[in-house]
Structure 1
Amino acid sequence: MKKILIVGPPSLGYLTKIDQQLNQREGVQSHIVLIDKFTFKYRNFRHKIINFLSKAFLGKNLKKEHVNTVIINKINQLGPQDLIFIIRPDLLKPKTLKYLKTQTKSLQAFYYDSTRRFPEKVDIIPLFDKVYSYDRLDVEKYNLEFLTNYIFDESENTTHEQLFFNISTHDYRYEAMERLAKYIHEKQWSKEILVLGPDDLTSEYLTIIHQQIPVDEVAKKINKSKIIIEIQRKEQVGLSFRIFEALGHRKKLITTNADVVNYDFYHPQNILVIDEDNINIPEDFVTSPYIPVKDDILNQYRLNYWINKVFDLQ
């Protein structure tokens, strides 16, 4: 029995997709431990003040300490593992990572955020037996192993209720998304563009939501749309899950990530790269049909292939 432990943030259900497929494999036993600071609860107001002072004067965050304790307790319950695979290891303390390394034959990590966004990832690279990254620049600079995200859900719905769909969080990309939504509105194209934001956030062109939507619910919204929108973080070149959701559901994609043209699934009738400061979406891109991507190309990005590669399975 090959014992695998996956450690990572909740991520709306992406890790569950890996775990479910692993546990369907013969001779494999998989578990997930979430790096979830929201499991921490203050006992009272005094406890909250203590954490504030601890962060300010001792550099210790009780929430982070709690998360690390949860991880260690879980590995102690499960016992030694054949492989521990960590996503966002920068969320854990180095001493926790060192302890995990003593509990497995192979400690591996997947960086699906660039080191330019989270520089602390650079210092912990030597702690791992292998580090994967979806960012080509990081792969070249730090001699990491290239690994994209994956297609975890598929459909071939050729009908659509609306043209455009996007869901994102309220961050520095917000203004670009609002400009894009305004552009689409002025073209009188149908859209559902959702932004997870604070209660006081309003927009004439965007729909503001206040609770995260799980990946399975997002998939339903993608399935009824023709074109998926993605505003890429400027400090990253790796392909986000939005791109693989578009691939899996056979949807067109509009993205600000220029690196997408270097992948074998790229087709100009399916994928349009735009400049977020000078938006131009040709009418024929919107009205033309989706060109199916060859199955042998899609196979390289499906979760099954991804799992075989990462966990050395057949």
Structure 2
Amino acid sequence: MKICIISFDYWNYDHHIVSKLQEKGVDASHINMGAYRYKNFGERFRNALSKIFLNKNIKHIKRQQYVLDSLAKLGPQDKILVLNPHNLDYETIKQIKSYTPYLISYLYDNLERFPVKDRLDLFDKIYSFEDKDVNKYGFEKITNYNYLSEQPLQCDTIENDLFYITSYDKRRIKFLRRLASRLSTMNIKSKIIVVGKQVWKEKIKQLSSNKLLNRYIQLRKTPIYIDEVLTEYRKNRVILDLMRDGQEGLSFRIFEAMALEKKIITDNPSILNYDFYDPQNILYIDKDLEILNESFFHTPYKRISIELYRKYTLDSWLEKVFDLEQTLDEKKITLYSS
């Protein structure tokens, strides 16, 4: 069985799908649009001029050609999964579809953020983690997944009570200032990191703000890779999870916390409706931070059942998205019959 994953793997999550498929004996490949690079400075410069004067992104065009060239080398596929197709034009997806009888998409962002409704008719099956899009467009609901382990991972080394890392975002920054103020009144040791090219704006504000609050929020321009983030998660009791505007689905943080047996503080109200929700492990905070108390940090994590844990693993995700168990069984029957 041949399966191809096509994505722009921003955070290096998607390669886990391919690795797990390969473990199951599937001939799986990954076409990562993010792997395309400018050949030289001249090409970068020409694209910059093209975007300014022609409103045409040559890199966007070449990335799509990279996908089609890679697919041509791989040949026909039994199934192709496109993760968030907003980086692909209609005609490109149409050509991708010619390589498979079954084209799937998983939308781990809402259609409000990435409006791709004009391309979705090309897909045979569409999965989404957003309830509002599922209800409005008839997509099939699926969450993100725990890619870390089939069994919970534990860590004895604890350095902080609370950890959070995020890209620069005005709404989150505003919330983090309030959170820092609240933490300053509590006996809680935290580590909060904001990453992005625009953190200089916040640094300017910090020059004239309360120095007590500044020590709670670290600002850095350079990115932090996922392995380093997971190391930080392991050394903390609680992980903070804040939504993007318009988001309802659960982020990967929720499942990373599940794998590492870490508590979660989140402003995502949808988490209250999930079967793994337990107030001992998960604290939902809205605008009122008074609900934030020291006892949540110091009470132990309550382990969930192994059946519930397995429900959110990558294995279970793959079985649902690719109907994998049934497909592999059919293949075995065919081989046996022949």
**TM-score in terms of structure 1 length:** 0.92
Q: 2:37, 2:177 → 1: CA distance?
A: 33
For residue 306 of structure 1, report the CA deviation from its aligned partner.
0.8
Name the structure 2 match of 1:62.
Answer: 58
Amino acid at match of 2:8: P
Residue range with higher mean Cα deviation, 177-186 or 256-265: 177-186
Candidates 109, 112, 119, aligned match of 2:108: 112
Bigger fraction of residues in helix:
2
Q: Which runs of structure 2 are paired with 1:7-22 in the superposition (5 Å)?
A: 7-22=6-21
Amino acid at match of 2:176: M
1:125 aligns with 2:120: yes
3-state DSSP class of the match of 1:71? helix
Residue range with higher mean Cα deviation, 33-42 or 10-19: 33-42
Q: Which runs of structure 2 are paired with 1:13-162 in the superposition (5 Å)?
A: 13-26=12-25, 28-36=26-34, 39-41=37-39, 43-44=41-42, 50-52=46-48, 54-55=50-51, 58-119=54-115, 121-153=116-148, 154-157=152-155, 159-162=157-160
CA 1:94–1:58: 2 relative to 1, 3 Å: farther
**TM-score in terms of structure 2 length:** 0.85
Candidates 262, 268, 271, aligned match of 1:251: 262
Q: Which runs of structure 2 are paired with 1:91-240 in the superposition (5 Å)?
A: 91-119=87-115, 121-153=116-148, 154-157=152-155, 159-172=157-170, 173-198=172-197, 200=200, 201-202=202-203, 204=214, 205-240=216-251
Amino acid at match of 2:104: Q
Name the structure 1 match of 2:3.
Answer: 4
Amino acid at match of 2:59: K
1:274–1:281 CA contact under 8 A, matched in 2: yes
1:176–1:277 CA contact under 8 A, matched in 2: no
Q: Where does the alignment leave 5 or more consecutive residues of structure 1 unmatched?
A: none
Amino acid at match of 1:174: I
Percentage of identical aligned residues: 36
Name the structure 2 match of 1:270.
Answer: 281
The Cα RMSD (Å) is 2.0
CA 1:38–1:30: 2 relative to 1, 3 Å: closer
CA 1:66–1:182: 2 relative to 1, 3 Å: farther
Q: Where does the alignment leave 5 or more consecutive residues of structure 2 unmatched?
A: 207-213, 326-338
2:196–2:223 CA contact under 8 A, matched in 1: no
3-state DSSP class of the match of 1:66? helix
3-state DSSP class of the match of 1:74? helix
Report which of the two structures shows the higher radius of gyration computed on alpha carbons: 2
Amino acid at match of 1:195: V
Number of residue equivalences: 309
2:276–2:304 CA contact under 8 A, matched in 1: yes
